[in-house]
Homo-oligomer: A and B are copies of this chain.
């Protein structure tokens, strides 16, 4: 019997008690293999992991499934599908085929969600509206396949500074508008504090999202951003984001799933993985403060 997607593995713990919901997104320990990350989670008492396709491919899909099951971990997400905005027909067919493979992998892993980063403007294009339509068209093709496969797609709005080159879905509201065209169990949205913290409509959109929230990820906004903006994220507490109200809003919307720490940062990657996981645990109190 598979556990209902998004539930926590410690049924005794009350909702929102914190560490029992902490999950490692593998991007945070970029240099660990699947086996190393799984072992690290076990040592740190972290109950779930978000895996990345590259590392899963390196380890082998059946081997990854086996390693995770043996350790008793839950798979909170698979990262990632998407990149839907290519216009060349051959490249588009290739992208859709790759996304179907990603759905198959998410099904094999019984991941709570397949995270989608939808793609930026195609090379040489300035047609933002067209790129956004291409995302909707690709979802039309993939959502039924995901649903048949028992996989939930999670549309992740990326910070507007990635609109040109990585993701034309820039706000939670926009992700919700896309997701609502499909059944809730087939398509949800990903709330990542790094991407949405600035949004003046954030509280309203989270409340509206309700059971569409398929994943909740945390990391902090640090300033100055490094030259490579992709690697400018910080541990919870290192930056400007007030996590507790966002987490409370996500919970109030009905989300009871895992909370992944996903940090892209060279300095975090250079640190020993066990130290990174210790820091994650310590800092998580800022996400779910223990009420006195």
Identify the A interface with B (CB < 8 A).
121, 126-128, 132, 159-161, 163-165, 170-171, 173-174, 197-201, 221, 223-229, 239-242
Contacts and interface: CB of A to CB of B under 8 A. Distances in A.
A164 B199 contact: no
16 contacts: A126-B240, A126-B241, A128-B197, A128-B242, A132-B200, A159-B161, A163-B197, A164-B198, A164-B221, A170-B198, A170-B199, A173-B200, A174-B200, A224-B228, A224-B229, A225-B229
Contacts of A226: 227
Contacts of A223: 164-165
Contact of A160 (B160, B225, B227): B160
Contacts of A228: 224
B227 A164 contact: no
A240 B132 contact: no
B170 A240 contact: no
Contacts of A224: 227-229
Contacts of A173: 200-201
A132 to B, nearest CB: 7
A225 B163 CA distance: 12
Contacts of A221: 164
A158 to B, nearest CB: 10
Chain B CB within 10 A, most for which of A121, A161, A227: A161
B128 A225 contact: no
A80 to B, nearest CB: 20
A163 B227 contact: no
Contacts of A239: 164
Contacts of A126: 240-242
A285 to B, nearest CB: 15
Given A128-B198, A159-B160, A161-B161, 5 more contacts: A128-B242, A160-B161, A164-B198, A164-B223, A165-B223
Contacts of A121: 240
A203 to B, nearest CB: 9
Contacts of A164: 198, 221, 223, 239-240
A197 B121 CA distance: 13
A132 B200 CA distance: 9
Chain B CB within 10 A, most for which of A160, A173, A242: A160
